[in-house]
Chains A and B, each alone.
Chain A
Amino acid sequence: MKLNRKNKLLIGLGVTAAILLTKLFIIQIIDDKYKLDADNNSMVYSIIYPTRGIIHDRNGKILVGNKVAYDLLVTPREVEEFDTLGLAKVLEVDPELIRNKMAEYRKNRRRIGWQTVVMLKQLPQETYMKFAEVAYRFPGFRGQARSIREYPYNAGGNLLGYVSEVDANYLKRHPDEYKAGDYAGMTGIEAAREKELRGEKGYTIWLRNSKNRIESRYKDGEMDKEAIPGKDITTTIDAELQHYGQMLMQNKVGSLVAIEPSTGEILTMVSSPGIDVDMLADIGQHYAEISSNPYKPMFNRAVQAPYPPGSVFKLVNGLIGLEEGVVSPGTLYPCSMGYHFGRNKLGCHAHKSPINFEESIMMSCNAYYCYILRDLLENKKYESIGIAMDKWKEYVMSFGFGQKLGSDFPSELGGFIPGSGYYNKVYGKGGWKATTVISLSIGQGEIGSTPLHLANLCATIANRGYYYIPHIIKDSENVSIEDKYRERHYTMVDTTHFPKVVGGMYRAVNSGFGSGGTASIAAVEGLEICGKTGTAQNPHGNDHSVFICFAPKDNPKIAVAAYVENGGFGATYAAPIASLLTEMYLNKEIGESRKYLEERMLGSNLMDRVKVRK
């Protein structure tokens, strides 16, 4: 045979065929990895679902655990004539439901083939046990254990989020990771930490004989894969405190956030009204109810609602004023029921006049901060008011306002801080001056900040000038947190200016009734609470009640922000609630003299004041 090109190609063909035949010979005859039993068996994979990771609170208490429930599976091809009524009775369901399901399987028998489908989901253990006793009467039906979520504390429904079966949309977004019938975290921590919590599915391989009965384990389970349980997660939440916070906020709309200033760990985050943990466990049943609730319990106000901060914001303007040198601790300004400019006036309440810097915080004087803001914006240091305005915005943002803080909590929103660009757009370039935007001085106007921003401001002041990004996952063996949560974030205001503000906040709370201090109601003996009230004007109804506080004054352990919609003065609702939470955290109990306050807060109902679109 000549070795011409035709023959070379024929040799190539022969070699290729030899390769295919060799490989076939290997897998069909030599290698018995692919062999099955001689009796014509085939394998059935039964999936073992991993238990989901447990979510702990900061003290090791279980916030979210697992309990066993059973899904009832059916392989329609294996089902013989059976007693529908009997099965319905055991399972405590309507016989019609079973009939309908069976009819549906018959209709789709081509598509289903030999597959097993889920007929009923999440049967409680007792029901399943009753079924197991009589299961022999119902060939083709079997149970499969699934672990579902259990919530020992009624704490942090919105934070924790819910777990539910993945839908078509979810599958499309995660094509390779999930299969129909899997569960996944949809909101809150469950969603944010889905990767750690979910674990890995395993499977057991069974052999099915030629009559389609499951007979034995394939290779005695050698090829089985064990499920890997999800990782446990420790949160920074204090379960007891969270629960107490929810009680204080019940029947009110708003938010309550507590942070440990020395770490940025979120101790409590309440958004009210929220989702009850009982609803979380069975979200499918309650979803319609929750989403049609006019108070929007799914909306996490603590990180999403852009509120005007009100007078609390004076602290920021005061600090900027000190840093820029337009005001000093000794500066005295008069106030005659407000700040007058031209024919206009920004009103204030009755208090002594003139007052210095600390007193301005203590008495929450509006006029004082109008002077500061005007001096800031008309500062000769800057070429124009636009530049001064942007400098101000830069300062404010260094406190974390007007941007997402970067917390590990999903769906955080950034709020809004206006700058020259914004006002140029609204009023035209040169169409505005300091007095146009004067309400910024007292935290009104275009400012939008979330309760988390306010709690972070409070923690920053408590730390005398820096904050850690608030976060909700605690560093633990299983799950480590990112480095950014361990970094100090300094504001643009020098740390030396903070003690003056702290002094004012201390006097606002601890000067006693009749002194002019706005937050005397928040005082707790021995705790040295420092606070600042705010009353955010609300053109749509009652004003919002705002309060931030931290305690103790030196070496603070907790910083709280309370925001009660339509609660009126800061001292009416927000200050009592925030101070009660502080007291509970530091003293583990509420003192006798303040029991009346606690009762009033627990009992009051402001829901009717809140205007909602039904």
Chain B
Amino acid sequence: MRELGGHRGRGLAKSIDWSLVICYLLLILIGWVNIYASIHSTEPSSIFDWSCRSGKQAVWIGTSLILASIILFALNPRIYEGLSVPIYLVTLGLLVGVIFLGIEVKGSRSWFEFGPIRFQPAEVSKISTSLLLATVMSQLGYRIGRIRDFIITALIILIPMMIIVLQSETGSALVYVGFIFMLYREGLSGWLIFMVGMAILLFILTLTASPFVAILVLVGIVSLCICLYSGKFRWWLFICVPFIVLMAFVPMILDTIAIRTLGEEAVAAATESGQLPLLLKIKPLYILLGATGVSIPFLAYHAFREGNTFTHLSILSLIAGIALVFSADFIFNSVLQDHQRKRIEVLLGMKEDPTGVGYNVNQSMIAIGSGGFAGKGFLNGTQTTYGFVPEQSTDFIFCTIGEEWGFLGSAFVILLYVFLIARIISNAEKSREAFTRIYGYCVACCIFMHLFINIGMTIGLMPVIGIPLPFVSYGGSSLWAFTIMLFIFIALDSNEKKYF
């Protein structure tokens, strides 16, 4: 047994990756200064004034630093592996408990309240899930390709994710999707990520264009994959592409024929009254489905004769894809909640509404855009300080950065994150212990997802999903959670370096 916080081997000061610590300190400092700037005009007071957010954040930062020190200097990094199961279970308990015992904030029940302190179990659950993933996946003999191992891994991720969805915190749940990158690193087939990406593409196409277009694209991609696999790219180019182009024009052709034969007014009237003539009752979608349906058995027979598993799987994916397209509409209209549906609609440009949901995004883009190259200067922002941007010190803190520090400042912050994430990944790769590597990847994935979703939201690349910018956004619960998460990794990392 090594002694607790022992100083054997290389000294702690030398084994800690100080670049990560400096990066962390820079980010919390940037956060603090910008929180002050965002509230400055409505509450002009000292940055340390306890009654306003910058003062409170100072307290959160102080306590976070204490937590970081405890993790670095007082706790033995070996304990995490052993404690990961109980920590995970306790967190699950908290996640379920908050649904019944928590207070309601903006329509979701995800916060515990103890006097002045609010705490969100979903933040802790990222850490506990990462720890358990690292423990399970670092076991000897674990292979993600084995069904049993894969299912266990999926469950570890999906259970907290589902509970968080039940709390109506879809944004926080979305972060868990990021673990897929860690799984990829640990040997998950790249096809799975491809499939998930395709599913998202089909979903969006179904909603923005139509099921017809979505299925057309699906047919195109699946046929391309089959042809590429069997080395018949030409075949695809000369047979599949013309077919797809022809199908794309079918709706237009049908319309033209109808108008030619019946006259424009008759068609318009028929469309309005819902009593379509026979010609227009033929939906292009059915023609496409019919054509696909006829070719599937032919392809399947062909594949069977050749013993081509890939084609079989492709056909299965095609069928699954078509099912997805048809259920997308259902999911969109029945599963998603009202505000989420609206946000997706605005994001995809299906509905224009500058004063409703789009208002936040519009205002936030104006704030960031008005910063220009070098920004307006510290405390000189007008958009963020006059209260045009909502949640300006929490989820929309990046607006203040963009407005007052301009492109230079925002690019610096983004690059700081990129450095942080890349550094975590490379440290993780260097590690000799699977536990540290996997945990490191988990941390990187979580920070990455938060970064992309949060900044993407403020600049209109993502729908408005309320999750904080790590280390920067106002809020004790999130700052604590990210601090603990990062410093556990730094401690694990330094612990190894001490001995090798």
Contact = CB atoms under 8 A, between A and B. Distances in A.
Contacts of A34: 365-366, 368-370
Contacts of A10: 422, 425
A23 interface: yes
Interface stretch (A35-43, A284-292, A402-410, A450-458): A35-43
B202 interface: no
B418 A17 contact: yes
Contacts of A422: none
Residue in A19, A23, A27, A34 with the greatest tally of chain B CB atoms within 10 Å: A34
| Chain A, interface residues (CB within 8 Å), range | 20 to 34
A502 B371 CA distance: 82
B382 interface: yes
A176 interface: yes
Interface core residue of A23, A31, A210 (most chain B CB under 10 Å) = A23
A199 B185 CA distance: 57
Interface in B285-328: none
A29 interface: yes
B388 A24 contact: no
Contacts of A114: 41-42, 386-387
A27 B406 CA distance: 11
A115 interface: yes
B438 to A, nearest CB: 13
A16 to B, nearest CB: 6
A29 B372 contact: yes
Contacts of A29: 372-373, 407
A596 interface: no
A36 B366 contact: yes
B461 A20 contact: yes
B414 interface: yes
A12 B182 CA distance: 13
A614 interface: no
Interface string B165-208: 00000000000000001001100000000000000000000000
Interface string A19-63: 111011101110101111000111100000000000000000000
A113 B386 contact: yes
A508 B386 CA distance: 77
A9 B41 contact: no
Given A17-B418, A36-B370, A42-B383, A24 B425 contact: no
A28 to B, nearest CB: 4
A27 B418 contact: no
A13 interface: yes
B356 interface: yes
A452 B215 CA distance: 56
A301 interface: no
B452 A16 contact: yes
B411 interface: yes
A40 B43 contact: no
Contacts of A21: 411, 414
A118 B380 CA distance: 28
B211 to A, nearest CB: 28
Contacts of A17: 414-415, 417-418
Nearest to B377: A40
A24 B402 contact: yes
A198 to B, nearest CB: 15
A16 B455 CA distance: 11
Given A110-B42, A113-B386, A5 B370 contact: no
Contacts of A24: 368, 402, 407, 410-411, 414, 459
A20 B369 contact: no
B118 interface: no
Given A13-B422, A40-B376, A35 B370 contact: yes
| Chain B, interface SS category | helix
A6 B411 CA distance: 24
B373 A6 contact: no
B365 A14 contact: no
Contacts of A40: 376, 380, 382
Given A9-B425, A42-B388, A20 B452 contact: yes
B460 interface: yes
B48 to A, nearest CB: 18
Given A24-B402, A28-B407, A9 B365 contact: no
Given A110-B43, A114-B42, A5 B366 contact: no
Contacts of A28: 368-369, 371-373, 402, 406-407, 410
B484 interface: no
B149 interface: no
A208 interface: yes
B421 interface: yes
Nearest to A27: B369
Given A10-B425, A20-B456, A23-B459, A5 B184 contact: yes
A110 B421 CA distance: 38
A21 B365 CA distance: 14
B435 interface: no
Nearest to B437: A6
Contacts of B421: 13
A29 B371 CA distance: 9
Interface string B438-469: 00000000001000100110011100000000
B356 A9 contact: no
Contact of A6 (B387, B415, B429): B429
Contacts of A20: 414, 452, 455-456, 459, 461
Contacts of A12: 181
Interface string B92-126: 00000000000000000000000000000000000
Interface of B: 41-43, 181, 184-185, 356, 365-366, 368-373, 376, 380, 382-383, 386-388, 402, 406-407, 410-411, 414-415, 417-418, 421-422, 425-426, 429, 448, 452, 455-456, 459-461
The 10 closest A-B CB pairs, nearest first, are A34-B369, A42-B382, A113-B42, A27-B369, A28-B407, A36-B370, A17-B418, A114-B386, A34-B366, A23-B459
